[in-house]
Structure 1
Amino acid sequence: MDSPVPPRPTEPRPRRRDRHGRGMRGPVAPPQVPLSASRSETFRDLVRDSVDRLERRWPQLAEVEFLVLDVPGTQDESVPLGSSVSAGKDHPARIMVYRRPVEIRTKNRDERALLVHEVVVEQVAELLGLAPESVDPRYGQE
């Protein structure tokens, strides 16, 4: 005689509606609207725009790796906005821009874009051994 198979334990179904029977009606903003980009994605785009501007004038920057990090890893008294590392045997030259310190020092997107560009120019100048004004003639004027 076969014994009945015990019922499977029911897994909780994901809730698709809130307690009032309503659910998400749709996305808060469509993907093409800047609102849907995260702050880190927006910041990364600012760095990329700045690098693109400089690469037209300095083609050797194509070999440099640009990184966006949230915060610097050091515990110094002053917090840097960016840093650079010369190329080594096993890694390319790197320029790091630190997102949180830059965001803290700016009030809006325009100020942030300006400061990001200044940081990138300063780090490129340090890496190339040049003055920031020779890397970007508009440095410090904007």
Structure 2
Amino acid sequence: MPRSRRSATPEPTARGRGRDRHGRGIRSSATGPFLPPLRTRIDLFDLTVASTVDYLRGVWPDELAHITFLTAAGPRTVPEDVGVQRWSVSAAEGRVVFYRLPIQRLSRLHLNDEAHQRMMIESCVFRGIAELLGKDPWDIAPDRFRNF
């Protein structure tokens, strides 16, 4: 018994309505439409900066009591002689700003995983606060690295 054939020309589809594969509907995120994404790079960066700053506030409570720590996507200007800054320190205003994109994207990690990314962010926070306090980064938290 012969099969009936459909026409060889497909019907035109409306473009720009999202991704609809095989009539299954538009894809949603893995967490569903009502929940935020589980972890983003921005959240990981902010959490790492905040936890490192909290640790250092416990070590240097008097020196860091009135200092404001901020995160930004990147610096507004790039000085030619310095290059792209990872952080900026303003001791007169009592402010340290950490720039997320230069820290995350311009860092050359030998192993690009979450632990090494977190260590890079922590080292930038240590160096930024050391610059603010006028100390060596290794002198800021000597007990933290004592077991290595």
TM-score, scaled to structure 1:
0.68
2:49 and 2:125 in contact (8 A); partners too = yes
- Among 11, 28, 31, the alignment partner of 1:29 is 31
Please tell me whether residue 101 in structure 1 is matched to residue 106 in structure 2.
no
1:102 and 1:112 in contact (8 A); partners too = no
Please tell me whether residue 62 in structure 1 is matched to residue 61 in structure 2.
no
- The match for 1:47 is 49
* Residues 56-135 of structure 1 mapped to structure 2, 5 A cutoff: 56-60=58-62, 61-77=64-80, 78-88=83-93, 93-104=94-105, 105=107, 106=109, 107-135=112-140
User: Residues 77-122 of structure 1, C-alpha deviation per residue, up to 9 Å, x if partnerless?
Assistant: 411211211134xxxx111111111111142221121111111111
Unaligned runs of 5+ in 1: 1-14
State percent identity of aligned pairs: 29
Change (3 A) 1:119 1:21: closer
The amino acid of 1:117's aligned partner reads E
Unaligned runs of 5+ in 2: 1-16
Q: How much is the aligned-residue C-alpha RMSD, in angstroms?
A: 2.9
CA distance in 2 between counterparts of 1:134 and 1:79 reads: 26
Alignment: residue pair count: 120
The amino acid of 1:55's aligned partner reads R
The amino acid of 1:108's aligned partner reads D
CA distance in 2 between counterparts of 1:49 and 1:22 reads: 41
CA distance in 1 between counterparts of 2:132 and 2:78 reads: 23
Change (3 A) 1:74 1:22: closer
TM-score, scaled to structure 2:
0.66
CA distance in 2 between counterparts of 1:75 and 1:57 reads: 32
2:78 and 2:85 in contact (8 A); partners too = no
